[in-house]
Structure 1
Amino acid sequence: MTGTRSGSRPTVAVLDYGSGNTHSAVRALQRAGADAELTADADAVMNADGLVVPGVGAFQSVMESLQATGATRWIGRRVAGGRPVLGICVGHQILFDAGVEHGVRTEGMAEWPGVVEALPAPIVPHMGWNTVRPPAGSDLFRGIEDERFYFVHSYGVLDWTFDQTHQAMNPPRVTWSNHGADFIAAVENGPLSATQFHPEKSGDAGMQLLTNWLGTL
């Protein structure tokens, strides 16, 4: 795979590092208009127009798998070079400072401030459809601001404190949802975007979100 386009279809690498649910992400991206491929090849990951980082399971195991394959370096290099990356579910969570599960803290990629922690809800996991509250000017949620999206998670980022002095012109756009407490449902930050929910499982709304993301490549 290269970063060239076939017609008007952007190329998207879906990172293959042993996480589940990757094939459904590939199929959804293809339906949304991308030439998407599941890959663990460094050149394909670096040269694609967009990179999608899926993730299911535990924060610690996902981080260990990403580090073992060298994928954390690839993600960091793409972001530093302004190359678009989209994280999904645990692929969203690992972009924050750290995750705490069962009292064990695991360092994340620290692209954004915040700690992934247990949702303070009487019923977990948070499984099913829920509304979100996107900010004004969101690219991901353009035209789908009032739609519901499909979540499956027991952990999330409950607090956002960002020093905007370094990005005064383009501060991150944060979307919230609620399950027991407010938690971050999505972030848009220049080339780096992520969703706690699964757009590939979110029907027409999820398909439109992926289409919106592809439109930024």
Structure 2
Amino acid sequence: MATIAIVDYGMGNLHSVSKGVERLGHQALITSDPKEIEAADGVILPGVGAFGDAIDQLRETGLDQVVREYVQTGKPLLGICLGMQLLFTSSEEHGEHQGLDLLPGRVVRFQGELKVPHMGWNRLALAKSDPLLTGIEEGHVYFVHSYHVLLNQPSDLLASTDYGQPVTAIVGRDNVYGMQFHPEKSGELGIRLLRNFVDMCRNPLICG
């Protein structure tokens, strides 16, 4: 059984994510304790709300550095929704904000006449093979967001969706992963993605 630390910085869908992990038969630990995060087999960075508020909370609690140091151990990290966006270099949401810069890219608002927020079920299009996508077939997952990620490195894209334009849906590099949608609310496909992530936590050597 793996222990998955869910980072509690005051802005996240903590309980729905923890229930998703627990349904897979693993321990979900909602925590802001650096020692518990460091000791975990895997870490999930959730997020709901505005980028600037979230990154400020992470910095004020010192959890931004805790997450960076965790990544250096080589164990898997997964950002979900806003948590994925926080992994990137910067965001233009309500001003200019610097992110964790674990992956190069920029978070921008949907442009044009698209309905915002992008809310509902959209089909994933897989971009490349990765351990996170083991056994995954293209299907629908649940999105709720007004901003999306523009990648600096196309090789970081694992899956996209279409919302009047290509939208980054899953990213991954080495042991750092992100999902723009909510896997814990995305039916069997989302749970399979969570299961694959937890499997990588049990054996971090298989990270992409």
TM-score (norm. length: structure 1): 0.87
- The equivalent of 1:152 in structure 2 is 144
Does the CA-based 8 Å contact 2:51-2:91 persist in structure 1? yes
Following superposition, the deviation at residue 174 of structure 1 comes to 2.9
The percent identity for this pair of structures is 38
Structure 2 residue matching 1:115: 3-state secondary structure: strand
The answer on 1:85 being equivalent to 2:77 is yes
The aligned amino acid for 2:87 is L
RMSD of aligned Cα (Å): 1.5
The aligned amino acid for 2:190 is G
Which of 157, 169, 184 is matched with 2:168 structurally? 184
Structure 2 residue matching 1:186: 3-state secondary structure: strand
- The equivalent of 1:212 in structure 2 is 196
- The equivalent of 2:101 in structure 1 is 110
Following superposition, the deviation at residue 138 of structure 1 comes to 2.4
The aligned amino acid for 1:108 is G
CA distance in 2 between partners of 1:14 and 1:106 (Å): 23
Misfit runs of 4+, over 4 Å: none
Structure 1 residue matching 2:92: 3-state secondary structure: strand
Structure 2 residue matching 1:212: 3-state secondary structure: helix
The answer on 1:142 being equivalent to 2:134 is yes
The answer on 1:124 being equivalent to 2:126 is no
The aligned amino acid for 1:202 is S
1:48-59 equivalences in 2 (<5 Å): 48-59=40-51
Ranges in structure 2 where 5+ consecutive residues have no aligned partner: 202-208
Kindly tell me: are residues 32 and 127 of structure 1, through their superposed partners in 2, closer, same or farther at Cα, counting changes over 3 Å?
same
Q: Show CA shifts across 1:12-59 (max 9, x none).
A: 111111013201100101112321111111110010000100001101
Structure 2 residue matching 1:216: 3-state secondary structure: helix
Following superposition, the deviation at residue 142 of structure 1 comes to 2.3
TM-score (norm. length: structure 2): 0.91
Does the CA-based 8 Å contact 1:53-1:88 persist in structure 2? yes
Which deviates more from structure 2 when the two are superposed, residues 144-153 or residues 131-140? 131-140
Kindly tell me: are residues 61 and 207 of structure 1, through their superposed partners in 2, closer, same or farther at Cα, counting changes over 3 Å?
same
The answer on 1:175 being equivalent to 2:165 is no
Following superposition, the deviation at residue 173 of structure 1 comes to 4.4
Does the CA-based 8 Å contact 1:54-1:88 persist in structure 2? yes
Ranges in structure 1 where 5+ consecutive residues have no aligned partner: 1-8, 164-170
More helix by share: 2
Which of 26, 51, 64 is matched with 1:72 structurally? 64
Following superposition, the deviation at residue 172 of structure 1 comes to 3.4
Following superposition, the deviation at residue 216 of structure 1 comes to 0.8
Does the CA-based 8 Å contact 1:86-1:192 persist in structure 2? yes
Q: Show CA shifts across 1:66-97 (max 9, x none).
A: 11111111110111121211100010001111
CA distance in 1 between partners of 2:177 and 2:12 (Å): 20
The answer on 1:25 being equivalent to 2:9 is no
Aligned residues between the structures: 200
Which deviates more from structure 2 when the two are superposed, residues 141-150 or residues 55-64? 141-150
CA distance in 1 between partners of 2:80 and 2:163 (Å): 18
